[in-house]
Amino acid sequence: MQDILGQDIKFLPGVGPKRAEILQKELGIKTFYDLIYYYPYKYIDRTKFYKIKDIHAQMPYIQVKGKIISIETVGAANKERLVALFQDETGTMELLWFKGVKYQKEALKTNVTYTIFGKPAEFNGKMNVVHPEMEQEGTQTLKPSGLFQGYYITTEEMKKKFVNSKVVNKLALALVEKVRGKIKESIPAYLVEKMKLITLEEALVNIHKPEDTLTLRKARFRLKFEELFFIQLKILSLKHQRENKFKGYKFSEIGYNFNTFYKDYLPFELTNAQKKVIKEIRKDVGGTHQMNRLLQGDVGSGKTLVALMTMLMAIDNGFQASLMAPTEILAQQHFTSISNLLSGMSLNVKLLTGSTKTSERKILHEKLQNGEIHILIGTHALIEDTVNFHKLGLVIIDEQHRFGVAQRAKLWKKNQLIPPHVLVMTATPIPRTLSMTVYGDLDVSVIDELPPGRKPIQTLHFFENNRKKVVGFIQRKVDEGRQVYIVYPLISESEKMDFKNLEEGYRQVCETFPGYSISMIHGRMKAANKDREMQRFKNGETQIMVATTVIEVGVDIPNASIMVIESAERFGLSQLHQLRGRVGRGAEQSHCILMTSYKIGNESRKRIETMVRTNDGFEIAEVDMKLRGPGDIEGTQQSGLGFDLKIANLVKDGEILQLARDTAMAILKEDPYLEDEKNKLLLKHILSNKRTEFNWGAIS
């Protein structure tokens, strides 16, 4: 960072100690650098003028030329206001002041041409502007940001201290003038020329003070590209370092266990997507580098089968494999399904969870250490210090976003010298732009088709007045032997929210379906009680499961073919999709019923329409990201990645991101360690932005 940009913000004229304190506290602006990289979030075109007859209250702002024809003070002394009648050739409107009445009255002149600027409003059939910005003809004080005025995000606390967007704009413009000619380039000259970029100084000046749309567009492109390029360069450098630093076990054999399972025990023909992913994994583990792969696949796409076949590769090469799941019930499900798939083969699969008895643990630990156990499946219990493997070659982590980085690292570091191969799985589809950033240092595989025989889930939307129809449908399906989930957004009633809650819902379900057995589970229940209720449902002892989103990632129950989501407008799109994935596991046609009130907002309506229209998790994830923004997508938080997007937008800037990634890849392919003289600036940036001492990228 240049010396001038490192200066304390209080030394900028117009700031001082008090404003510096509020800027630091509210916006984190401590230095000149922080302010110049604090970009406007929108711009107002100060080149456009309106006629009074065309103005309406829905306009965000107006700019009008005209004359004041009368001025009067209205109201009692302590509540007086100043009203000026403003006229152009098409009509009249009022200008109002509630503060500084005496000063304004003295300053205003009649029959002089003014340009006024502000937010229009309507009162008693008349248009008005409260506290307008005004400029008398012949002066040049109104346009503080060239022809386009930048607007900056500020807080209520700042406004109380009279530091609003206009003040921040004024300070930013003062800073721009102060640093002109002193900002050094951050990208090598050859790259600036190749990408046809304007200079960094031009970009920073024009982002705060654009003279026209073209200069603003060039400034935004330059700053977005640079931001995304350095993220990609950093991520891909980490990946390159990992591949060269961390040697992996070589699984050279595709042997007896893999081939026997494939020929004799495979429950159904693999989909083309599964075959493609297995080939990608075989290539990884057959090399000399540690595999670090993310496996994305929608609910029910067959990720577990791919995981098992990867485990068999490890076992055929003399290694052990482990699978860690976020909950006991999910670990149990993996254990049961994998044990069933391997039934008849002489492989030892064990389960380790918090419920495993001490006596069983002792035997398990011994067999794990001497190599008798081939596959260990479990929860957080796997990362306990007492759990030691004989020769751990593969770690599989399911629903990986539910584990902390340090937790995953403990399992990864069970081996002292050579780390095991890592496969992380998620059923939360990740939009392409997010996978290039949040998971940019991982190799990504996608299973994008369902196994044969699976029928797409039919999703239906009903309003409250159609409840009888829904109840009749549920009764028919339960009488046919099917099971039903009914999901509510809350456990107990909230004073602020009138939507369905679990306790009231459970009572209603019991009254509506008196002849049926009903279970209830929620997040506040003890784990043992929760597991017991889920087990009863799985065994068919209860026909209806009333629950909160605790079942979002849960047990595979093929007989459950109906998912009813109450107050569906209150759920996020990702959650709705995950909940829907709890059904559709068997051969029967499954249904997801979304119940909503009539009064739902535009975003809620868009979510419901998307759910009814498509089962494609990746399309749903893209819509979700557009509605909610990239930082809010479940399982894709940017924590630990060391980047904070100031101007780029992962929803809108996918093409720039791809360009930035391709550019970074091309540079690293030619100069992997950025040793060339022409790449000195890039190396300096990478070294000055070290993420952490430990390479978290190696464990996803």
> Among residues 641, 651, 653, which one has the least CA distance to residue 225?
653
pLDDT digits 0-9 by tens, 268-314: 889 999 999 999 999 999 988 888 898 988 777 889 999 999 999 99
Residue 376 belongs to domain spanning: 256-447
Do the domain assignments include residue 227? yes
| 8 A C-beta contact, residue 117 and residue 62 | yes
| Amino acid letter, residue 189 | A
641 band by pLDDT with thresholds 50, 70 and 90: very low
Q: Which residues, including other chains, have CB under 8 Å from residue 519's CB and lie 6 or more apart?
A: 533, 534, 536, 537, 542, 544, 545, 546
Which position has the higher pLDDT, 636 or 6?
A: 6
Question: CA geometry: angle at 183 spanning 180 and 186, to 5°?
Answer: 150
Last residue of a domain, one of 110, 142, 174: 142
The CA R_g of the chain, rounded to the nearest whole Å, is 31
Gap between the Cα atoms of 522 and 547, Å rounded:
6
Are residue 369 and residue 382 in the same domain, yes or no? yes
| 8 A C-beta contact, residue 250 and residue 284 | no
Are residue 51 and residue 33 in the same domain, yes or no? no
Do the domain assignments include residue 383? yes
Strands (E), 306-420: 320-324, 349-352, 375-378, 392-398
Strands (E), 513-657: 518-521, 544-547, 560-565, 591-596
pLDDT digits 0-9 by tens, 82-134: 999 999 999 999 999 988 888 888 889 998 999 998 899 998 888 999 999 88
Q: What pLDDT is attached to residue 441?
A: 73
Are residue 13 and residue 158 in the same domain, yes or no? yes
| 8 A C-beta contact, residue 449 and residue 301 | yes
Do the domain assignments include residue 609? yes
Are residue 265 and residue 387 in the same domain, yes or no? yes
> How big is the chain, counted in residues?
700
Last residue of a domain, one of 398, 421, 447: 447
Q: What pLDDT is attached to residue 142?
A: 43
Do the domain assignments include residue 629? no
Q: What pLDDT is attached to residue 639?
A: 37
Query: What CATH number is attached to the domain comprising 505?
Result: 3.40.50.300
630 band by pLDDT with thresholds 50, 70 and 90: low
Are residue 383 and residue 477 in the same domain, yes or no? no
Gap between the Cα atoms of 390 and 470, Å rounded:
55
**pTM of the predicted protein model:** 0.71
Gap between the Cα atoms of 367 and 346, Å rounded:
15
Number of neighbours of residue 484 by Cβ within 10 angstroms: 27
89 backbone dihedrals φ, ψ, rounded to 5°: -70, -10
Gap between the Cα atoms of 105 and 81, Å rounded:
10
Task: Name the CA dihedral angle for 272, 274, 276, 279, rounded to a multiple of 10 degrees.
Answer: -140
CA atoms in the 13 A half-sphere facing the CB of 454: 20
Q: What pLDDT is attached to residue 608?
A: 95
Alpha-carbon torsion (339, 341, 343, 347), positive or negative: negative
User: pLDDT averaged over the chain?
Assistant: 86
Are residue 560 and residue 497 in the same domain, yes or no? yes
Are residue 439 and residue 555 in the same domain, yes or no? no
**41 pLDDT exceeds 70?**
yes
Do the domain assignments include residue 647? no
Do the domain assignments include residue 517? yes
9 band by pLDDT with thresholds 50, 70 and 90: very high
pLDDT digits 0-9 by tens, 303-357: 999 999 999 999 999 999 999 988 887 888 899 889 999 998 999 999 998 888 8
Which pair of tokens denotes residue 280?
Answer: 């990608």
Task: Give the position of tokens 């700053």.
Answer: 223
525 band by pLDDT with thresholds 50, 70 and 90: confident
Are residue 547 and residue 596 in the same domain, yes or no? yes
pLDDT digits 0-9 by tens, 184-215: 999 999 999 999 999 999 999 999 999 888 99
Q: What pLDDT is attached to residue 413?
A: 64
Distances (CA, A) of 381 to 321, 331, 376, 385, 476: 15, 11, 11, 9, 43
Strand partners, 321: 375, 394
Q: What pLDDT is attached to residue 476?
A: 94
Query: What CATH number is attached to the domain comprising 9?
Result: 1.10.150
**697 pLDDT exceeds 50?**
no
Q: What pLDDT is attached to residue 305?
A: 94
Last residue of a domain, one of 397, 417, 447: 447
Are residue 678 and residue 665 in the same domain, yes or no? yes
Are residue 377 and residue 262 in the same domain, yes or no? yes
Are residue 378 and residue 434 in the same domain, yes or no? yes
Gap between the Cα atoms of 303 and 284, Å rounded:
17
Highest mean pLDDT (candidates 314-318, 329-333, 451-455, 532-536) = 314-318
The structural domain count of the chain equals 5
Highest mean pLDDT (candidates 224-228, 233-237, 534-538) = 224-228
Gap between the Cα atoms of 685 and 681, Å rounded:
6
State the angle between helix axes of 200-208 and 213-245 in degrees (0 to 180), rounded to the nearest 10. Answer: 130
Do the domain assignments include residue 626? no
First to last CA, the chain: 31
Average pLDDT in the 465-473 region? Answer: 92
Gap between the Cα atoms of 370 and 388, Å rounded:
10
Are residue 190 and residue 84 in the same domain, yes or no? no
**567 pLDDT exceeds 80?**
yes
Strands 144-151 and 42-45: antiparallel
pLDDT digits 0-9 by tens, 392-418: 999 998 875 554 445 555 655 666 678
Q: What pLDDT is attached to residue 635?
A: 42
Gap between the Cα atoms of 553 and 613, Å rounded:
23
**145 pLDDT exceeds 60?**
no
Question: CA geometry: angle at 89 spanning 84 and 92, to 5°?
Answer: 30
Do the domain assignments include residue 301? yes
Which position has the higher pLDDT, 266 or 435?
A: 266
Which position has the higher pLDDT, 168 or 142?
A: 168
The DSSP letter of residue 432 is H
Q: What pLDDT is attached to residue 237?
A: 87
Query: What CATH number is attached to the domain comprising 52?
Result: 2.40.50.140
Say whether 274 sits in a helix, a strand or coil.
helix
Which position has the higher pLDDT, 607 or 553?
A: 607
| 8 A C-beta contact, residue 460 and residue 431 | no
